[in-house]
């Protein structure tokens, strides 16, 4: 496996010989700055899990997360021996936050439209509370909405009784217990028919699971845990079992480059590497880029049996 690492947009060090195309490249820097200088029509798919509270990955909020109190991150109460992972407090978003989120995704979708080849797909993780703030700017930027991938994931989020009034309202939940995570699926319009676009740009469709089975929009996927979390202790780690299915589907002919502009610990890049697909990862936080450098080869090296033994898919 060969890869290159770039620090703040500069070529850092690389393991790939000069004439060899690396399997993946990692950049430390701002995704928007990177995208503004990306060559037009150079990326074939995007698979990403962006920041949502906008502020949740700011230095002050990350300090509060590490301290275990205050800020947008909440540590849900644990019970039955289950440790619950920190979650950003999306329900406290104000109107100003909502405007900022819309602006964030408008500023993301415009340069993505330019950097992507015709027919390129975008898979973008979201949640049922804020997905509309992602989808509208993507459609306004000219993307076609091609559906949603429903990740069936049984977290311990939601379903709680009214705070400090549990005994008074024992039969009431404030919100449904969350059992799914939507991933918006968008496509840059094709040039001509899908078959023309596939020939010219290698994009436009989704890779089938097998000749008999098309890619499906419902995927059962347990939260990342155990060995994956030990390898990549990012607060928003996504599981390999799920990401490998998504990245594989994103390049219909297995050719081209997948971008994750918000790679965190590099789980998308690792999934692409495990599938033998080329990718580029960016993160603004140096600590996470270093985490990704170390984690990617180890995550990519986990076999399907090891992922199953780790509880994947259930």
Rounded CA separation 32/30 (Å): 5
Q: Which residues, 6 or more positions from 270, have their beta carbon under 8 angstroms from its beta carbon?
A: 240, 243, 295, 296, 297, 298, 299, 300
Residues 215-244 touching ligand SAM, rule: CB under 6 A, are: 234, 236-238
The DSSP bridge partners found for residue 181 are 151
Q: Which of 7, 9, 30, 114 binds ligand SAM (CB under 6 A)?
A: 30
> What is the chain's length?
314
User: How many Cβ atoms sit within 10 Å of the Cβ of residue 70?
Assistant: 12
To ligand SAM, the closest distance from the beta carbon of 267 in angstroms equals 3
To ligand SAM, the closest distance from the beta carbon of 18 in angstroms equals 27
Residue with tokens 């939260």: 223
Residue with tokens 């890619």: 215
Q: Which of 285, 290, 297, 298 binds ligand SAM (CB under 6 A)?
A: 285
| DSSP 8-class letter at 89 | -
Q: Which of 130, 284, 299, 300 binds ligand SAM (CB under 6 A)?
A: 284
Angle 175-177-179 (CA atoms, 0-180°, nearest 5)?
Answer: 135
Residue number, 206 or 259, with CB nearest to ligand SAM: 259
Q: Does 264 sit near ligand SAM (CB under 6 A)?
A: yes
Q: Does 49 sit near ligand SAM (CB under 6 A)?
A: yes
Q: Does 61 sit near ligand SAM (CB under 6 A)?
A: no
To ligand SAM, the closest distance from the beta carbon of 9 in angstroms equals 11
Residue number, 51 or 137, with CB nearest to ligand SAM: 51
Residue number, 45 or 190, with CB nearest to ligand SAM: 45
Q: Which of 31, 113, 247, 259 binds ligand SAM (CB under 6 A)?
A: 31
To ligand SAM, the closest distance from the beta carbon of 185 in angstroms equals 17
Q: Which of 4, 23, 25, 57 binds ligand SAM (CB under 6 A)?
A: 57
Residues 115-134 touching ligand SAM, rule: CB under 6 A, are: none
DSSP letters, 13-76, are EESS-TTSPPSEEEEES-HHHHHHTSPTT-EEEEEE---SSSSTTSHHHHHHHHHTSSSSEE-P
Give the total of residues touching ligand SAM (CB under 6 A): 21
Q: Which of 65, 122, 249, 282 binds ligand SAM (CB under 6 A)?
A: 282
To ligand SAM, the closest distance from the beta carbon of 183 in angstroms equals 11
Q: How far apart are the first and last CA of the chain?
A: 30
The number of C-alpha atoms within 13 Å of 144 and in the hemisphere containing its C-beta is 11
Q: Does 28 sit near ligand SAM (CB under 6 A)?
A: no
Residue number, 183 or 201, with CB nearest to ligand SAM: 183
Q: Residue 128: helix, strand or coil by DSSP?
A: coil
Helix (H) or strand (E) holding 183: strand 180-187
Q: Which of 3, 4, 22, 51 binds ligand SAM (CB under 6 A)?
A: 51
Helix, strand, coil share of the chain (percent; to 5) = 35, 20, 45
Residue number, 131 or 285, with CB nearest to ligand SAM: 285
Task: Note the residues at the interface with ligand SAM (CB under 6 A).
Answer: 30-32, 49-51, 57, 234, 236-238, 261-262, 264-265, 267, 282-285, 288
């Amino acid at each position: 496996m060969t890869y290159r690492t770039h620090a703040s947009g500069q070529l850092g060090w690389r393991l790939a010989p000069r004439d060899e195309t690396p399997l993946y490249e990692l950049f430390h820097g701002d995704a928007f700055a990177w995208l503004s200088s990306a060559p037009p029509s150079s990326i074939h798919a995007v698979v990403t899990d962006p920041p949502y509270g906008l502020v949740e990955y700011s230095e002050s909020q990350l300090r509060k997360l590490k301290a275990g109190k205050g800020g947008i991150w909440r540590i849900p109460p644990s019970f039955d021996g289950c440790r619950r992972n920190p979650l950003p407090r999306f329900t406290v978003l104000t109107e100003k936050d909502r405007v900022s989120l819309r602006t964030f995704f408008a500023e993301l979708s415009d340069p993505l439209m330019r950097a992507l080849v015709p027919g390129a797909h975008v898979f973008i993780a979201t949640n049922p509370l804020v997905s509309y703030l992602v989808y509208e700017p993507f459609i306004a930027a000219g993307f076609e909405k091609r559906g949603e991938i429903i990740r069936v994931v049984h977290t311990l989020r939601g379903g709680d009784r009214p705070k400090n009034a549990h005994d008074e309202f024992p039969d009431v939940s404030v919100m449904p217990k969350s059992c799914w995570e939507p991933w918006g699926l968008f496509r840059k319009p094709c040039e001509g028919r899908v078959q023309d676009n596939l020939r010219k740009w290698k994009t436009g469709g989704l890779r089938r699971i097998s000749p008999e089975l098309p890619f499906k929009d419902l995927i059962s996927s347990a939260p990342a845990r155990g060995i994956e979390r030990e390898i990549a202790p990012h607060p928003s780690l996504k599981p390999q079992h799920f990401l490998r299915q998504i990245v594989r589907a994103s390049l219909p002919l297995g050719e081209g480059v997948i971008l994750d502009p918000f790679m965190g610990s590099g789980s998308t890049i690792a999934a692409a590497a495990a599938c033998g697909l080329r990718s580029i990862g960016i993160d603004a936080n140096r600590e996470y880029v270093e985490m990704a450098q170390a984690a990617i080869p180890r995550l990519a090296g986990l076999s399907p049996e090891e992922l199953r033994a780790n509880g994947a898919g259930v």
